[in-house]
Amino acid sequence: MATTLAQALEELKSQLQYLDKALLGKALEFGRQQYKAILEVIDDRIASQRPKGLRIEHRRAVCYQTCLGPVRVSRRIYKDGSGKRRSLLDELMGMGRRDHTTLTVKEYAVELPTRMPYRAAAAILGKLTAIELAHQTLHCMVKKVAAPCLEKERQERQLFMQTGELPENDGRAPARLMVEADGVMVSQQRQKERKVEVKLGIAYEGWREISRDRYCTVNKTVFATVGGGGDAFWSGMTLKLQKRYDLAGVGQVIVGGDGASWVKEGAGYMGGNFQLDRYHLQRELTAALGRDQETKSRVWQAIELGEPAVALNILKETQPRAQGEQSRRLAHACSYLQSNLDGIRDYRLDIKGTAAGLRRTGAIEGNVDKFVARRMKNQGMSWSVRGISSLLCIRRILHENNLGGWLSRPFQNEIPNLPARKVRRIINNLSMQEPDGWLKAGVPALRGPHAARPWVNQLRSLVETPTL
């Protein structure tokens, strides 16, 4: 049966629409071949320069997980004098005995789950790259990378609680350090207590204007704990800051928050002054006074003038006239202001000289949303304490631009030192292959069942046209 022009055009359209995907697949296949060839040549070089105490036992192929896809590499297994088996190529690549994943894949697999659910991260990696990893594998990788960091912090905090010793620091002592903290409840998995509190703290030296009426914090430090009391959080936060600053030399420390008792304890830990977050204060007054804008304006004016006691008295005078639910809300607002009276006065009013460039506290609200709430409180999610701690740890490592430091494995002294120029020469020589045949094989229509049709001949003439 003859093929109509419409059918021929439809076939051409279907082939060309997915041409980029077909070529990408061939390019990845070419890359896997190059990757395998380069590593096996480097393994030969290692064998020729291996230490005398290592004896070649056999060759064994293993599947490396790369961003090009799985690559089966044949490398030598050595045995040392004690009978221990080693693969020098694996060690040079920074891989363990049961961990044959490249650093690039680890970076993708660990960073992506901090921004979306594990299942979605695995699906995105599979669609946009050649990395095929199950969501359970991503979960295990996040925990594995975070574990040494969390253990190091635990040991340092335990030592600090026992001895009071502080780590060495860079000696920086800014004139002012802003420290803010807040908590957010996250659902737990398979626990008697359905919720657990994540305590998040940030510290920064000031603000920088990024556009009109928009500012970002300068030199921000982030710390978080899951569960536990204020002592555990503030001891860890103090250690974190002590590594960066000489806290004894900091001119002024302002500790901001919503008035929770554990947040106010931070002022004692840091040797600073507590500042009540204006967002929570405004919310409390709005709930208590409702549409009574006149009273609210008087209360807020007294607060702006640095007279919190006057503001409290205005609220108390309003309370007898209130009834029902409004009376209960006013009583709650009065209690809230009374318990936070020392932190209501704006810290800038007590600064000698100009306070230009200084802003109020409140940056913690956006950080709680970005670091915790968006990732851990959506779509009915529930977590284990270890899962929350691991994910928050990775987010902090990413914020500090130190993911590579925690992913890299230390080299052993027995690994031969291959000069970088030799490695570059191997890569360049093996990469200079003629790609003509590979490019032609990348167009499925040229060798498919319709290879003799006119439209395929036209496509072949375009692809096989020699370059002038």
Most confident of 1-5, 315-319, 378-382: 315-319
226 backbone dihedrals φ, ψ, rounded to 5°:
-120, 125
Which whole number is the average pLDDT over 78-86? 84
pLDDT tens for residues 244-282?
898 888 989 999 999 999 999 999 888 899 999 999 999
Give me the chain's average pLDDT, please. Answer: 85
Indicate the burial class of 395 (C-beta count within 10 angstroms; 0-12, 13-18, 19 or more). buried
d(CA 143, CA 136): 11
Which residues, 6 or more positions from 414, have their beta carbon under 8 angstroms from its beta carbon?
51, 53, 54, 88
The residue with tokens 């204020």 is 230
Looking at residue 109, what is its pLDDT?
Answer: 93
Looking at residue 82, what is its pLDDT?
Answer: 81
3 state DSSP class of 46: helix
Q: Of 258, 186, 199, which Cα lies nearest the Cα of 233?
A: 199
The CA–CA distances, whole Å, from 391 to 59, 385, 388 equal 38, 10, 5
d(CA 278, CA 296): 14
Which residues, 6 or more positions from 96, have their beta carbon under 8 angstroms from its beta carbon?
90, 409
The pair of three-digit structure tokens given for residue 146, joined into one six-digit string: 């975070």
d(CA 113, CA 146): 13
Which residues, 6 or more positions from 75, have their beta carbon under 8 angstroms from its beta carbon?
39, 40, 43, 59, 60, 61, 62, 87, 89, 90
Pair 389, 232: CB distance under 8 Å: no
The pair of three-digit structure tokens given for residue 451, joined into one six-digit string: 């290879």
Q: How confident is the model at residue 468 (pLDDT cuts 50, 70, 90)?
A: very low
Pair 145, 407: CB distance under 8 Å: yes
Lowest mean pLDDT among 277-281, 314-318, 349-353: 349-353
State yes or no: pLDDT of 182 exceeds 90: yes
Looking at residue 413, what is its pLDDT?
Answer: 61
Q: Report which of residues 165 and 387 the model is more confident about.
A: 387
Most confident of 236-250, 342-356, 386-400: 386-400
Looking at residue 340, what is its pLDDT?
Answer: 93
> Residue 68's CB: how many other CB atoms inside 10 A?
23
The residue with tokens 């490396």 is 64
Extents of the domains making up the chain: 154-399
pLDDT tens for residues 58-77?
889 999 999 999 999 999 89
Cα 461 versus chain centre, distance: 49
Q: How confident is the model at residue 444 (pLDDT cuts 50, 70, 90)?
A: low
Lowest mean pLDDT among 128-142, 155-169, 205-219, 314-328: 155-169
Q: How confident is the model at residue 380 (pLDDT cuts 50, 70, 90)?
A: confident
For residue 210, what is the enclosing H or E element? strand 206-211
**Angle 413-415-417 from CA coordinates, rounded to 5°:** 100
